[in-house]
Chains A and B, each alone.
Chain A
Amino acid sequence: MNKTLSAFTLLETLVAVAVLLMSLLGPFSIAQQSLKSAYYARDQVTAYYLAQEGLEFVRAIRDQNYLSGSSWLTGISTCTAVQCTVDMPNFVYATCSGPCTALKVSAVGGLFNQANGTPSKFVRSVSLMNVAGDPNQVIVTVTVSWISAGISRTFSLQERLFNWL
């Protein structure tokens, strides 16, 4: 009786250490994974707002053309079938030669733009596509791509604009 009990403390400690180790490693890796997906969730929210801004930019150009009495896609039609970067704060756009450059975050105000600031992880490209047989309709596609926790992600938003004025 005494003999069996004498080794119990050691055995108990070993089992306890094993149990603690398991319960430490489990939540630790879960927390790590959770952090990764939390970053992804955060970046995805930024990405879809950036995509929204891209679409609104094209619409703003169209509306500006209406106000100035020009044809609806004056200027922005250079982005037909090619990728363009758009810059809302400076209200400019440019075609990409090669892959589009990443958006920058301005030092003042922290606004996403293409001109100056620290480069962000987001690359946004806007492209127009003509609809066969209908010159009064255009498909606008905005693609935002970024790398989140080592995995490259993209978000693509599409809208059709019409020449209704």
Chain B
Amino acid sequence: MIKTPRGFTLLMSVVISGVLLTLGYEIYNLAVKEVELSSSGRESQFAFYSADTGIECALYLDTKQDAFATTSALTQVTCGTAVSPLTRTTVGTDYITTFAFSLGGGINTQCVDVRVTRQNPQKTIIESYGHNTCVLTNPRRLERAIRVTY
């Protein structure tokens, strides 16, 4: 009679609430992951189209101004919001031209690095690396790259 368990209702309610809270927390976790995933997809678009702008610009410079030939006297280009200098190096038989520029679309400024390799005999490789933000320390910074060979 005196041994009748006391406080069973309270124990039960604590156990049930524990289960419910865990469930709620997991649902919340799931939603946060979904938003993170879709946001990284969005940021990825910024990076991709920055890289694509780099490709477009390099194609333009090559077909219209022959900027990647060893004989080219061009020192700077205007692809994005400002004038950027061309850096030229020779590695073995490859003649490499690189330039970087930034774009103003979206909330952040996007940065693009373009590297053009002119091989001998005539072959061109354009590699464009687009970033969604120019801030190197940004944890959300990501890169999309495109390579064109012809």
Query: In the complex, what residues of A have CB within 8 A of residue B79's CB?
Result: 160
Taken together as a complex, chains A and B put the C-alpha atoms of A56 and B39 apart, in Å, by 21
B38 an interface residue at 8 Å Cβ cutoff? Answer: yes
Q: Which residues from chain B contact A164 at a C-beta distance below 8 Å?
A: 56, 59-60, 62-64
Bound CA–CA A65/B8 (angstroms):
79
CA distance A19 to B16 in the complex (A): 9
Partner of A48, one of B10, B27, B45, B53: B45
Docked CA distance A41–B32 (Å): 9
Interface size on B, residues (CB 8 A): 46
Q: Is the CB of A157 within 8 A of B46?
A: yes
- A35, B28: Cα distance in complex, Å: 9
Give the CA-CA distance A24 to B16 in the complex, in Å: 9
Binary contact readout A15-32 vs B (1 if CB under 8 angstroms, 0 otherwise): 111011011101110110
Is B7 positioned at the interface, with any CB of A under 8 Å from its CB?
yes
B10, B46, B57: the one contacting A160 at CB < 8 Å is B57
Tell whether B127 is near chain A: CB-to-CB under 8 Å: no
- Complex CA gap A19/B20 in Å reads 11
Give the contacting residue for A27; candidates B14, B24, B39, B63; CB below 8 A: B24
Is B60 within 8 A of A19, CB to CB? no
State in angstroms the CA–CA spacing of A112 and B53 once bound together: 26
The closest CB in chain A to the CB of B44 belongs to: A48
A45 touches B41 (CB 8 A): yes
**Which residue of chain A has its CB nearest to the CB of B79?**
A160
B17 & A41 in contact (Cβ 8 Å cutoff): no
Q: In the complex, what's the smallest C-beta–C-beta distance from A64 to chain B, in angstroms?
A: 16
Q: A22, A37, A136, A165 — which one has the most chain B CB atoms within 10 A of its CB?
A: A37
Cα–Cα, bound, A34→B35 (Å): 10
Q: Does B78 contact A (CB under 8 A)?
A: yes
- Are B31 and A33 closer than 8 Å at their CB atoms? yes
B residues 66-112 touching A (CB-CB < 8 Å): 78-80, 103-106
Residue from B9, B16, B64 with most neighbouring chain A CB atoms (10 Å): B9
Chain A residues with CB under 8 Å of chain B are 5, 8-9, 12-13, 15-17, 19-20, 22-24, 26-28, 30-31, 33-35, 37-38, 40-42, 44-45, 48, 51-52, 55, 134, 136-137, 139, 141, 155-165
